[in-house]
Structure formats: C-alpha cells, structure tokens
C-alpha cells in the first residue's frame, strides 16, 4: 500500500488541500490517517476524471443516465429533468459520461479469502459477468452492486479486508436494487461504466468503447 500526503495528492489532482478533504469526505478518496491518503485511490480518481474537475451527477441523475443509455425511461426523474439529461447525453463523449456518472455508487475495494468467492458473488448484483461479452478474458474478479445499508454486514460476514488494490469491488448504492437488476439485464452500459473506471488499460478501453457504441445508438 502506497501513501500520499494530502498536499501531494492535491498537487497530482490539481486541486487545493481543502478540496482533497472534501473528496475524502465524499468517499472519492480514501484517507488512511490524518493528512495521508491512499495513492491508489488518487490514481483511480485521476483515471476517471482525466484532468477535468467537473462534479459528479447526483446519484439519481447518474442512474437515470444509465437507464436512458440502456433504453429505459428513468421514471424516478421528472419529464423536464429527463429531457435535459437526454440533451446532455447527446453532447457528451464516453469519458465525460464516466466522469459524471461516478456518483451512482460508493466504490470500495477489498481482499477476500478464496472461499468467499461464490457466496459473496451471490449477494451482489454482478456486472463483471459482462466482461466476456465486451472482449475480456474471464477472471476471479468480483464486482457488483449492493444496498448501501447492507455494505457493513456483507463486509463483516465475509471477512473482507479493505485494500484499494483488491480484486473485490463493492458498489454501494441507495438506488432500488430491482432497478439495478433490470439495467444489468437490459444492456451492458452499467458494466461498461464499471470497466471504464479501471486502472487496467484493457478493461478501461473495453468499457470506453462499449459506452461509445451506446452513445452512438442513443443519438441515433
């Protein structure tokens, strides 16, 4: 595990130390001790933001974007909000959507005992299974969504150890999980967003390419 002083993290991100503290408070960076953050969490944020400082969409808006790109209606937004979001999506590239949609869930990574694999996967809404359809080789990676209120219990039940380089990714959201399941079934857009946040070049490219295709279809 590599550590960075808050001042160095601020320099890498091109923000103030106060903004780094805000990013920690929002869960976008991981603080390991007072004045210190995990370097990998900084690298992941840099990969998603790509030099931009645009704020993430609100959770409901981010999920609405996923729904619209998946051919859904995003009924939890008002019609005027949906109309504005459609307009924005038509003007955005894939990497811009990745940056803005990162607020759909709080993302934490862990190390798990190998015996936890299938039992843990069964408690999540899995998106990694789409990786093969997007041209990636199958691995033992676990990546999925769960309710924010269930996160601590799942971590405790499976003895997960917090580690930003771990192969278990839990994405905690307050969105109705039935909606999330429907979106996973409807298209690979959500899986593509998840992959596009990866530090692995091949995974990120597969996600960006899939999002680019989805945006092209959305624009018609």
Q: How far is residue 115 CA from its own chain's centroid?
A: 25
Confidence category of residue 18, pLDDT binned at 50, 70, 90: confident
Give the Cα separation of 183 and 187 in Å (integer).
6
pLDDT score at 181: 96
Buried b or exposed e, range 20-48, using 16+ CB within 10 angstroms? bbebbeeebbbbeeeeebbbbbbebbebb
The more confident residue out of 169 and 16 is 169
Contact 213, 98 (CB under 8 A): no
Mean pLDDT of the chain: 89
Q: How confident is the model at residue 1 (pLDDT cuts 50, 70, 90)?
A: low
Q: What is residue 52's predicted lDDT score, i.e. its pLDDT? A: 59
Q: Is the pLDDT of residue 71 over 60?
A: yes
- How confident is the model over 116-138, as a mean pLDDT? 87
Check whether 2 has a pLDDT greater than 90: no
* Residue 65 pLDDT class (50, 70, 90 cuts): very high
Residue 44 pLDDT class (50, 70, 90 cuts): confident
Among 15-19, 31-35, 120-124, 202-206, whose mean pLDDT is lowest?
A: 31-35
For residue 50, what pLDDT is reported? Answer: 61
Residues 205, 211: Cα–Cα separation, whole Å: 10
Q: Which residue has the higher pLDDT, 16 or 182?
A: 182
């Amino acid at each position: 595990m590599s550590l960075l002083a808050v001042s160095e993290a601020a320099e890498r991100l091109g923000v103030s130390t106060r903004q780094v503290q805000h990013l920690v408070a929002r869960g976008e960076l991981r603080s390991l001790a007072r004045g210190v953050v995990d370097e990998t969490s900084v690298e992941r944020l840099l990969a998603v933001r790509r030099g931009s400082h645009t704020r993430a969409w609100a959770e409901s808006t981010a999920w609405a974007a996923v729904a619209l790109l998946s051919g859904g209606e995003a009924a939890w937004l008002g019609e005027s909000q949906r109309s504005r979001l459609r307009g924005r999506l038509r003007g955005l590239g894939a990497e811009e959507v990745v940056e803005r949609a990162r607020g759909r869930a709080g993302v934490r990574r862990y190390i798990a005992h190998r015996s936890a694999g299938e039992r843990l996967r069964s408690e999540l809404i899995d998106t990694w299974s789409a990786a093969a359809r997007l041209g990636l080789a199958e691995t033992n990676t676990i990546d999925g969504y769960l309710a924010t209120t269930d996160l601590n219990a799942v971590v405790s039940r499976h003895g997960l150890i917090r580690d930003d380089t771990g192969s278990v990714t839990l994405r905690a959201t307050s969105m109705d999980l039935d909606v999330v399941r429907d979106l996973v079934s409807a298209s690979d857009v959500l899986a593509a967003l998840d992959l596009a946040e990866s530090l692995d070049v091949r995974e990120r490219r597969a996600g960006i390419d899939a999002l680019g295709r989805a945006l092209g279809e959305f624009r018609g």
